[in-house]
Structure 1
């Protein structure tokens, strides 16, 4: 048996409430079921979901204070005032900056942008930047993707005689800044959707300023919205769906160059944005000034765009190397510490711009909340980022010890912080105490929401293309996860380091490949003819013009007992198995058991105190099959490893025939008195018998009292009692040992598995997997 890494949650929802007049929409039962799971249950809702229309966007007029803000901007343009767009250094912030700058430029505004430096200024508006803007003659500042918490900065702007318009989407605190206008969905009771990204709010403002819906800006909106991980429902779905189409055919020199360096051709998906475009835009702000990202998207010069994009590519590669280096260093630090429920690592010199990525990687590896800090000894502080697991609200729990921080902000799953070096250990102790009080062991496992169980025979290219109608996928519209249970036809490790797993299934002539990146270590946990449970995403693998369905593995389990066959190997590698099992016992070869650090018993020992042993390792064959059967029924193992080795096989020796016994007896009768040393060797040589065979025949006759042995002389009994050969213990033992070897050592795997299955009745047949199939 092999446990899953994550908790599996099978989604089951009745579809009785779905209207049945969907035939005109050509919806299959599969799509219907997946839509119901997303709360899309009416014909109208289905139509809007599958064909997101820009006409269904909410009017920007419903955003509080937007009319006031539009009038102020237009007045500034009329009067020739200087406008400054104040953005943020992540992908959402730089695309929001681009959207608003392009709209203002179209209106003829005298405008520029400013993005704070992550390392010298930190997040959000700051006094120094506002004062510099005033000195440069700016009279109106418009924030994008930031500003809702800028209380002091708004006051300073007022004192300096500058107006501030805040456009933001972050959580609204108890108080809001006093400024000219705030455009924020969560501050607008009449606005029906509150989950716009920062670039989405900027787009709404741009639409209101321009007086029309600027489709040419949708590419930027799609990038920022996907990169910021906001829910991809309602307006966000409409914006991203249409924005990705614009992005695929964009004429913007910067975006074309960015796609070129990221090797994105043809249609652009949310995965292209999330894993290629977004990280490249983010990389600039993580390592230096984010201005380069805005410059790329604003330039009209194709050659300049290529130059900037190539430089950004180098920066992104550098960012990846820095992340990899810090992850390795963090793992080394953790190896020297006792494992805690909360991971806290800190080191001088770590680049604070990438610590959030590092924390995410540590969370994925250890399923623990992680805080990664860069130590600044000259300032006596540590600064960094944190990421959490779903069961632990990082923001709430950190706020319980808010006195330990000099600066702190974030939400349930992510946070940024600055604290005194002397408070790092108290923070670790406090969070470990909180998590111990709140969570159980199962809470540390990730949770996978599985949308359906499908047979391999139903997974094909048309099905996968149908499912793609539900894209773009993201928060609140997750890519469907499917479960299959089948016996792999082939399994192998792939990759230069053999760290990936590839399984191949065939059912009713339908073939399915399953690929598990990072699952290579599980190869040794697979056993022949054993069904495997796999959860993953369906995709299409295109190679040399052909398409094949494939499943990208996210988790794997085996819910039946397993037989691992190491027979004949003198030193099977058991270390990795031993460390992964909860309880292990072994039989035979006490020396090897002790070297592996596992408990040991013999077949004849008392096993009555042991029940439900996770894993049993057999280092030796039993002398009686009934002993093994009784043992299995007593301890009920879930995994059995066969590690025995037969050095001197009884089964392979020629077993004497009845004619052999008859020849031997006639010879003894004729001789009456036989010298073991003088008479037997020539006789054995004449008949082609080995020494072992000869001794065996003598032992059997001796046990049956057909002969007597004194010293080295054999004498034949004159009137022995008539007995069958089977009455000899030696004869029976040899027969029994040969049978044991035949069944347990020389049988093939299928025969062996069948034999053990008959002894494993305590596990019964695996329960039928509850089907959530479509």
Structure 2
């Protein structure tokens, strides 16, 4: 048995609806099923999802506040008023700012940009910044990806005589800023048909209205922020991502060209959402995390090739620095959890420390969620201000924004989404804040919620996993939030050619086989299971189906995301030469019970076990007082061979509870002759020898064994049987024929019966095939529990 890392939840779907969509849209049944699972409930919506073209953009004027905003911006451009694009320092904010820069250039506006410094100012609008902008002659502020919570700051701008147009996508608070206009599809007054745009998506809609057409030449910028901000890739977000990725592969933006080059992606045939999320996005974020976001805006808006290359290299260097910083803080945070905030007492982790860079604590929080699977908040403490500032990441079932709202008495500033948020609070509030969050977690979450959930789309037969199927799945790309890469489940398969690969041998490569079906599979960071699985184990596997192309050959491939072996595993280590070393290594792998049937084995192993404090894990059937209590070990080691079926039945209760049985019996120096029970003809030869030589001295047993071509220990066993049947008499130093012995069968000897049973059992356990060995233990358990 091998347990899965996560809980698997197989999606339910309306099969009739899927069949109708497949038929009406000309789609493969699998693709239609996946559409239905993703909430596509009509043929029209299915066609729109698959086509995802610019004609499907919604009317930008359906956004509340759009009409007033466009009118005011056009007036400002006409009058050559100074316009400030006020953005945010993450990838979404940088993309939004850069997109609006390009639009303002098209419209001939007098403008500049402003992005606050994460470290000296923090997120959002700031009064000092607004005062400075007023002094510099700006009259109109357009926020992008920020501003929806800036009630006081907008009121202050109004007092200064500044008009503020807020464009944002974050959750609106109860009180909306009284700005000149607010464009946010989530605000209560807005009836826009899609409310999950990223900040750059809202900026794109404003650009659409200002230009009287969607700015398709800027859709690569829109895709960057949309994908990097992890908004659901459905509806307009899907259109922006799909069109944007297509343009990104042939972008004319020299900054993006330089960024793609520095990421080592210039020769990539097709850039995907994954490249944005794990390569381009992190570098755009790096400037704002460690210094300022100005370099990222410069990169995306410059028209100078050398400047673009320098900015791209600077962001790449900052990203390397960011990675090292994240690792250092993550290590410190993990140590803090282990020492100060044990998981059994903390359902929410709230960690804070002086010196932690607030620009990367969100990434650290994500790392901790991956490791501990707890809602996590990581904050950097500013000792001079007496404040803690940081980021939160959550798990399924715990709405972080709702939780922070419930704790708002401790939070002067906070904002965010269900799964992620940011906040600032006084250091003195940390403990009551932590306490209240944990109280909420006790009310909202069950123990099951702390096991990661993996949502599986469909179960497939291995024979149905074809190249054509894998190719059809590509029609659903781009994948991301709201449209995750499809996960398929394949059951009751075996593996072939399992091996470890990679520079550090940390990855797994194999083929999954069942009947006539076969597919190559790769598991990144799954090499650790290789010593834990048996050759004939049957797996349930979930993974991502894709097309692998190598040297012109295209084949389906499964990338393993999780797997389980639902049955008991039997490890065939019979006759291994490093028996004691293997026994010692198994002691570090969970609760283990070692069963010993023979006294000599117990005497051999006891000193080693006692030295390591493991003697309680030994169960010896050769001891008079056998005690094992109510043990339910997950792993059982059969160290030596049982002498009888009764011995084996005595321990079957432990075999029943075991997930893994390790067969260590059958020492290399244990010849089969020692366990082979002689037949009637061999006993006859020994008896005939005594007829010729009635008295055999013990000192002559070796010579007798050579004469009869028998092993010495085998001969001694036969003499014991003959003595029990009274065919010979045992004297102090000799064996003498009993001429008056009555004729009787060998079966009259208890020793012979036990010897024969031991021999038959040893033959079954030592000489059987692996499949027969597994069947043997299955039958033993079944017989004992029936």
- Please confirm whether the aligned pair reaches a TM-score higher than 0.5, indicating the same fold: yes
- Report if aligned partners of 2:365, 2:377 keep a CA contact under 8 Å in 1: yes
CA drift at 1:193:
1.4
- Report if aligned partners of 1:608, 1:634 keep a CA contact under 8 Å in 2: no
Is 1:639 the counterpart of 2:639? The answer is no
Once the two structures are superposed, residues 513-554 of structure 1 have per-residue CA deviations (whole angstroms, 9 ceiling, x without a partner) of: 222222222222221212111111112223333323211222
Which runs of structure 2 are paired with 1:395-544 in the superposition (5 Å)?
395-485=401-491, 486-507=493-514, 510-544=517-551
Distance across 1 between alignment mates of 2:456 and 2:536: 25
Distance across 1 between alignment mates of 2:288 and 2:723: 92
Once the two structures are superposed, residues 238-272 of structure 1 have per-residue CA deviations (whole angstroms, 9 ceiling, x without a partner) of: 22222222222211111111122223334332222
Which of 570-579 and 506-515 deviates more? 570-579
SS at match of 2:687: helix
SS at match of 2:232: coil
Is 1:694 the counterpart of 2:718? The answer is no
Is 1:570 the counterpart of 2:571? The answer is no
Distance across 1 between alignment mates of 2:785 and 2:523: 30
Distance change >3 Å, CA 579–CA 717, structure 1 → 2: closer
1:42 is aligned to 42
1:200 is aligned to 201
Distance across 1 between alignment mates of 2:206 and 2:56: 17
Distance across 1 between alignment mates of 2:458 and 2:218: 37
2:730 is aligned to 709
CA drift at 1:659:
4.5
Segments of structure 2 that go 5 or more residues without pairing to the other structure are 597-601
- Report if aligned partners of 2:348, 2:376 keep a CA contact under 8 Å in 1: yes
Distance across 2 between alignment mates of 1:526 and 1:681: 46
- Report if aligned partners of 1:629, 1:759 keep a CA contact under 8 Å in 2: yes
1:626 is aligned to 646
2:334 is aligned to 331
- Report if aligned partners of 2:489, 2:541 keep a CA contact under 8 Å in 1: yes
Which of 661-670 and 525-534 deviates more? 661-670
CA drift at 1:73:
1.5
- Report if aligned partners of 2:22, 2:32 keep a CA contact under 8 Å in 1: no
- Report if aligned partners of 2:635, 2:659 keep a CA contact under 8 Å in 1: yes
1:587 is aligned to 595
Distance across 1 between alignment mates of 2:301 and 2:494: 54
Distance across 2 between alignment mates of 1:434 and 1:617: 45
Segments of structure 1 that go 5 or more residues without pairing to the other structure are 766-774
CA drift at 1:715:
3.0
Which of 596-605 and 131-140 deviates more? 596-605
Is 1:664 the counterpart of 2:686? The answer is yes
1:551 is aligned to 558
Distance across 2 between alignment mates of 1:244 and 1:529: 44
SS at match of 1:330: helix
1:169 is aligned to 169
SS at match of 1:40: coil
Distance change >3 Å, CA 87–CA 576, structure 1 → 2: farther
CA drift at 1:477:
1.9
1:314 is aligned to 317
Which of 428-437 and 24-33 deviates more? 428-437
Which runs of structure 2 are paired with 1:208-357 in the superposition (5 Å)?
208-264=209-265, 265-337=268-340, 338-339=342-343, 340-357=346-363
- Report if aligned partners of 2:685, 2:708 keep a CA contact under 8 Å in 1: no
Distance across 1 between alignment mates of 2:22 and 2:441: 48
Distance across 1 between alignment mates of 2:715 and 2:28: 77
Distance change >3 Å, CA 86–CA 8, structure 1 → 2: same
Distance across 2 between alignment mates of 1:137 and 1:652: 102
2:599 is aligned to none
Distance change >3 Å, CA 154–CA 420, structure 1 → 2: closer
Distance change >3 Å, CA 224–CA 481, structure 1 → 2: same
Distance change >3 Å, CA 315–CA 542, structure 1 → 2: farther
Task: Give RMSD over aligned pairs.
Answer: 2.8
SS at match of 1:705: coil
Distance change >3 Å, CA 580–CA 60, structure 1 → 2: farther
Distance change >3 Å, CA 6–CA 763, structure 1 → 2: farther
Distance across 2 between alignment mates of 1:736 and 1:760: 19
Once the two structures are superposed, residues 367-388 of structure 1 have per-residue CA deviations (whole angstroms, 9 ceiling, x without a partner) of: 2222223233344443322212
Distance change >3 Å, CA 681–CA 199, structure 1 → 2: closer
- Report if aligned partners of 1:165, 1:179 keep a CA contact under 8 Å in 2: yes
Distance across 2 between alignment mates of 1:682 and 1:560: 53
Distance across 2 between alignment mates of 1:586 and 1:342: 39
- Report if aligned partners of 1:603, 1:622 keep a CA contact under 8 Å in 2: no
- Report if aligned partners of 1:154, 1:179 keep a CA contact under 8 Å in 2: yes
Give the alignment's TM-score, normalised by structure 2. 0.91
Distance change >3 Å, CA 89–CA 247, structure 1 → 2: same
- Report if aligned partners of 1:296, 1:305 keep a CA contact under 8 Å in 2: yes
Once the two structures are superposed, residues 709-746 of structure 1 have per-residue CA deviations (whole angstroms, 9 ceiling, x without a partner) of: 23213332221011222332333333333333322234
Which of 685-694 and 315-324 deviates more? 685-694
SS at match of 2:403: helix
CA drift at 1:593:
6.0
1:761 is aligned to 782
- Report if aligned partners of 1:490, 1:505 keep a CA contact under 8 Å in 2: no
Which of 604-613 and 716-725 deviates more? 604-613
SS at match of 1:522: helix
SS at match of 1:636: helix
Once the two structures are superposed, residues 417-444 of structure 1 have per-residue CA deviations (whole angstroms, 9 ceiling, x without a partner) of: 3344444444444434443444332111
Is 1:394 the counterpart of 2:394? The answer is no
CA drift at 1:586:
3.5
Once the two structures are superposed, residues 380-419 of structure 1 have per-residue CA deviations (whole angstroms, 9 ceiling, x without a partner) of: 4433222121122333334444344453333332222334
Distance across 1 between alignment mates of 2:330 and 2:324: 10
1:366 is aligned to 372
Distance change >3 Å, CA 661–CA 638, structure 1 → 2: closer
Give the alignment's TM-score, normalised by structure 1. 0.92
Distance change >3 Å, CA 697–CA 63, structure 1 → 2: closer
Distance across 2 between alignment mates of 1:522 and 1:681: 51
Distance change >3 Å, CA 732–CA 499, structure 1 → 2: same
SS at match of 1:185: coil
Distance change >3 Å, CA 318–CA 763, structure 1 → 2: farther
Which of 554, 561, 576 lines up with 2:568 in the alignment? 561
CA drift at 1:103:
1.0
- Report if aligned partners of 1:452, 1:482 keep a CA contact under 8 Å in 2: yes
Which of 468-477 and 605-614 deviates more? 605-614
CA drift at 1:136:
0.9
Distance across 2 between alignment mates of 1:540 and 1:118: 42
Distance change >3 Å, CA 266–CA 720, structure 1 → 2: closer
CA drift at 1:130:
0.6
CA drift at 1:612:
6.3
Distance change >3 Å, CA 444–CA 237, structure 1 → 2: same
CA drift at 1:107:
1.1
